[in-house]
């Protein structure tokens, strides 16, 4: 066996199936979820096993996203949907899971504690195994950007995968936050996985009156009052808000169908803009290419590397 063959990063799936249950953030409905192994080159797929879902299988891909108002929702085109997929997708991305079958008996994933931490725990408990096929990546070849001066998202060529994000809220409990993360081994678990979703107390009340956010509570979200955090335990990170937006972006970008080799930058970006960015990327075949570790990599000069990290 050649050294090149030994060096190839392989696709990964779960070693065994594992279950959990919880309530959906928006529906308030209790659901059971099972994450299990899947064959090579099948990607991440969701299967609705409840009577309303009729066993529908929905690929976790950007072109199956049907709604992005309060979360990322994927559907099969016949009205069967699975919503709030972004946190589990972020966990799969951060742990390098390429192939998995996710069965759910309802229309929305459980929110757990509002972060990806529980999903990371479940996947690691199930175990991760390598498969024989090489892992594909999507290499960014040309810059792609969407948005305006209020909010924007972009992808640019880089010799690594990284996330940059900034947000700015008038509420003094958040203010302006910026963060950059190089997506290397364990960086997702260490830097982002425990960052929780957040909302403002007055907006949560308004949403619940409209029949939304029915499962939301201080147990699964950071709730912000006029000028302070209402959760008794406070924050897990001083900049937990920007970290959670980066977690969301990781999950949304993994709907590309493979890990992205390039630099993502988001400014006040959310689910809608993240999906719009992927649609813009795949609309331009010159802007990306599938690669693996047998593909020749571009040579980056020290100057180009510095520019890519600036």
Residue 97 contacts residue 128 (beta carbons within 8 Å): yes
pLDDT confidence bin for 304, thresholds 50/70/90: low
pLDDT of residue 116: 98
What domains can you pick out in the chain, each with its CATH number? 3-309 (3.30.1700.10)
Instruction: Of 232, 197, 236, 224, give the one whose Cα is nearest residue 113.
Output: 197
pLDDT of residue 207: 78
For 132, counting Cβ atoms within 10 Å of its Cβ (0-12 exposed, 13-18 middle, 19+ buried), the class is exposed
Q: What is the pLDDT of residues 168-219, one digit of tens each?
A: 999 999 999 999 999 998 999 999 999 999 999 988 778 777 777 788 889 9
Cβ neighbours of residue 206 under 8 Å, at least 6 residues apart? none
Q: What is the mean pLDDT of residues 100-125?
A: 98
CA dist., res. 19 & res. 116, Å (int): 15
Comparing 79-93, 214-228, 238-252, 254-268, which segment has the lowest mean pLDDT? 214-228
Quick check: helix, strand or coil at residue 274? helix
Catalytically annotated residues? 271
Residue 43 contacts residue 99 (beta carbons within 8 Å): yes
If phi > 0 it is left, if psi is from -120 to 50 it is alpha, else beta; for residue 141 that is: alpha
For 202, counting Cβ atoms within 10 Å of its Cβ (0-12 exposed, 13-18 middle, 19+ buried), the class is exposed
CA dist., res. 255 & res. 220, Å (int): 24
pLDDT of residue 240: 98
Tokens representing residue 148 in the block: 């305006």
Backbone angles phi, psi at 113, to 5 degrees: -100, 10
CA dist., res. 225 & res. 190, Å (int): 28
21-48: string of b/e by CB count within 10 Å (b at 16+)? Answer: ebbbbbbbeebebbbbbbebeebbbbbb
């Amino acid at each position: 066996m050649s050294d090149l063959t030994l060096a190839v990063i392989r696709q990964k799936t779960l070693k065994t199936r594992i279950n959990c249950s919880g309530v959906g953030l928006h529906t308030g409905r209790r659901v059971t979820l099972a994450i299990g192994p899947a064959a090579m080159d099948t990607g991440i797929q969701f299967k609705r096993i409840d009577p309303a879902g009729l066993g529908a299988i929905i690929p976790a891909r950007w072109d199956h996203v049907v709604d992005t108002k309060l979360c990322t929702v994927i559907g099969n085109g016949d009205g069967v949907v699975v919503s709030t997929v972004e946190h589990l997708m972020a966990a799969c991305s951060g742990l390098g899971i390429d192939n998995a079958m996710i069965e759910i008996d309802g229309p929305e994933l459980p929110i757990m504690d509002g972060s990806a931490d529980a999903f990371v725990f479940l996947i690691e408990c199930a175990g991760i195994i390598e498969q024989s096929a090489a892992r594909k990546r999507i290499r960014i070849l040309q810059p792609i950007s969407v948005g305006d001066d209020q909010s924007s998202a972009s992808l640019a060529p880089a010799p690594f995968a990284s996330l940059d994000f900034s947000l700015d809220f008038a509420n003094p409990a958040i203010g302006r936050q910026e963060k950059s993360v190089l997506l290397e081994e364990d960086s997702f678990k260490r830097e982002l996985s425990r960052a929780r979703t957040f909302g403002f107390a007055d907006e949560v009340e308004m949403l619940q009156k409209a029949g939304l956010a029915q499962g939301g509570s201080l147990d699964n979200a950071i709730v912000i009052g006029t000028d302070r955090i209402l959760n008794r335990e406070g924050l897990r990170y001083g900049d937990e808000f920007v970290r959670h937006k980066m977690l969301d972006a990781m999950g949304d970008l993994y709907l590309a169908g493979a890990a992205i080799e390039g630099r993502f930058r988001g400014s006040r970006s959310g689910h809608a803009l993240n999906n719009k960015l992927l649609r813009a990327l795949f609309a331009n075949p010159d802007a990306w290419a599938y690669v693996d570790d047998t593909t020749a990599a571009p040579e980056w000069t020290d100057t180009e590397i510095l520019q890519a990290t600036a």
